[in-house]
Amino acid sequence: MSDIERKPVKITETVLRDAHQSLIATRMPIEQMLPIVDTMDKVGYAAVECWGGATFDSCLRFLKEDPWVRLRKLKEGFKNTPLQMLLRGQNLLGYSHYADDVVEAFVAKSIENGIDIIRIFDCLNDLRNLETSVKACKKYGGKAQIALSYTLGGAYDDEYWKRIAGEIESLGADSLCIKDMAGLLLPYEADKLVRALKSGTKIPIELHTHYTSGVASMTYMKAIEAGVDIIDCAISPFALGTSQPATEVMVEALKGTPYDTGYDQKILSKIADHFRPYREECLESGLMSTKVLGVNIKTLMYQVPGGMLSNLTKQLSDQGKLDKLEAVLEEVPRVRKDLGEPPLVTPSSQIVGTQAVMNVLMGERYKIVPEQTKDLVRGKYGQTIKPMDPEVVKKCIGDEERITCRPADLIEPQMDKFREECKQWATCDEDVLSYALFPQVATDFFKYREAQKSGVDLAKADTKNGAYPA
């Protein structure tokens, strides 16, 4: 095979972030990661995704790790491989918008501490909500990848994807990612989508999906044939189910083809051998549930992400109304249409799902409207691709004036306020940013950190209430 024929595909490895976020609720500690870093660094990955998403919250809340320290330790080990993180645009790693000064400071510190590539997305695909983080990423020397939340609906045709790809390139993105968070992208649709995006932009295109619906590997193959440049995979012990397709399987499937990755299966086997005992531990302890390892075809039937489906089931179960699940699943697309057809990804998936539950349980649509739904209608999250139903808007917020500008334009600078609020605990700007994102969780962590330094016996400390003996 000549070099001219070769179109090698690159792989981003997700085992240090999305794979364990999907399968064990982001509970993998840094001690499990560090011993295998040197081996992972020899593969030749496009990047290793290791930070952002839910890892930040989980480090502070459950693992009692400083996420910034985790990042620095990983950077020390990965000398040849770019480190990548996931960022929710103006939301950063939280669930509401922050002022531009907080966004810029967070991006700057992320790059300073070791991040090379920042994957930036917005739950509404409102590119205005990505402007500040993309500019900051470029300013401080990082690579900005804009991720489009993949979704279905009348507004999301080939022309939409082609147009938005061009806008993403104009915004200064170094690459584009198709973020199929629900595993909705079918193989032949992937072929069409990649070709549409390729016709709208010259920057590299990456595809991220989940195995939830069972089609992900087939989807990757068709996307590769259509010209996708990078695919997201997880080493086999933490692959499949609600995670990504297995790295070794995709490498072997592409072997000897024009798309051959060139990765060494012997090295990948060592990585898998490292994580396999930990997988068994997680299964035995119940941290990894068999419920997340199978195929959930309802994801495709109802176009509802797996996480959203389990959340709806829990909400109804708590109310003793599990028999209403079918009615709620039928109500979800109606609510989504009423609210401008937003992609179903955090936090819009929770907003649409909760409203659908309310509508069914109340027996009257929009009789009760949670504050988050009102904020979406007000425009606090940005602009939806289609207009909202005027009657639903009236029911939700009455005659309130709606936001039409970029929502963050209405937020005053916040960094000084956060510095003042956490000055008792903060030892650096990274601490201030941890507090800005998760005030109570970060404060509890700071107390824990101080207790460790002062030699308090943490076994006797009141860790639940964060009250540590002097």
Tell me how far apart the alpha carbons of residues 447 and 461 are, in angstroms, rounded to a whole number: 11
pLDDT exceeds 50 at position 286? yes
pLDDT exceeds 70 at position 2? no
In this structure, the answer to whether residues 382 and 420 fall within a common structural domain is: no
In this structure, the answer to whether residues 261 and 315 fall within a common structural domain is: no
pLDDT exceeds 70 at position 4? no
Instruction: Say if 234 falls within a structural domain.
Output: yes
Q: Give the model confidence (pLDDT) of 316-335 as tens digits.
A: 988 899 999 999 999 999 99
In this structure, the answer to whether residues 388 and 428 fall within a common structural domain is: no
In this structure, the answer to whether residues 381 and 240 fall within a common structural domain is: no
Q: Report in angstroms the alpha-carbon separations of 342 from 57, 87, 132, 238.
A: 25, 19, 22, 30
Number of domains in the chain: 3
Return the SS3 of 215: coil
Percent of the chain residues topping a pLDDT of 90: 83
- Which one, of 256, 217, 204, 211, lies nearest residue 238 by Cα? 211
User: What is residue 236's predicted lDDT score, i.e. its pLDDT?
Assistant: 98
Give the amino acid at 103.
V
In this structure, the answer to whether residues 187 and 113 fall within a common structural domain is: yes
In this structure, the answer to whether residues 338 and 450 fall within a common structural domain is: no
Instruction: Say if 468 falls within a structural domain.
Output: no
Whichever domain contains 386, its CATH number is 1.10.472.90
Instruction: Say if 466 falls within a structural domain.
Output: no
Tell me how far apart the alpha carbons of residues 429 and 102 are, in angstroms, rounded to a whole number: 11
Give the CA diameter of the chain: 70
User: What is residue 456's predicted lDDT score, i.e. its pLDDT?
Assistant: 61
In this structure, the answer to whether residues 95 and 230 fall within a common structural domain is: yes
Question: What is the extent of the structural domain holding 326?
Answer: 303-403
Token reading at 354: 């909760």
In this structure, the answer to whether residues 280 and 248 fall within a common structural domain is: yes
In this structure, the answer to whether residues 311 and 439 fall within a common structural domain is: no
Instruction: Say if 77 falls within a structural domain.
Output: yes
Instruction: Say if 394 falls within a structural domain.
Output: yes
In this structure, the answer to whether residues 315 and 432 fall within a common structural domain is: no
pTM above the 0.85 mark?
yes
Q: Give the model confidence (pLDDT) of 344-385 as tens digits.
A: 887 888 899 999 999 999 999 999 999 999 999 999 999 999
Instruction: Say if 2 falls within a structural domain.
Output: no
Return the SS3 of 306: helix
Residue by residue, DSSP assigns 366-433 as: TSS--HHHHHHHHTTT---SSPPPHHHHHHHHTTPPPP-S-GGGGPPP-HHHHHHHTTTT-SSHHHHH
Last residue of a domain, one of 385, 403, 421: 403
Instruction: Say if 221 falls within a structural domain.
Output: yes
Residue by residue, DSSP assigns 168-206 as: HHHTT-SEEEEEETTS---HHHHHHHHHHHHHH--S-EE
Mean pLDDT score of the chain: 93
Last residue of a domain, one of 288, 313, 331: 288
Average pLDDT over residues 393-412: 97
pLDDT exceeds 80 at position 469? no
276 — phi, psi (to 5°)? -60, -45
Residue 63, CA atoms < 13 Å, CB-side half-sphere: 20
In this structure, the answer to whether residues 235 and 354 fall within a common structural domain is: no
In this structure, the answer to whether residues 210 and 345 fall within a common structural domain is: no
Residue 18, CA atoms < 13 Å, CB-side half-sphere: 28
Contact indicator for 171, 133 with CB cutoff of 8 Å: no
* pLDDT confidence band for 467 (50 / 70 / 90): very low
Instruction: Say if 298 falls within a structural domain.
Output: no
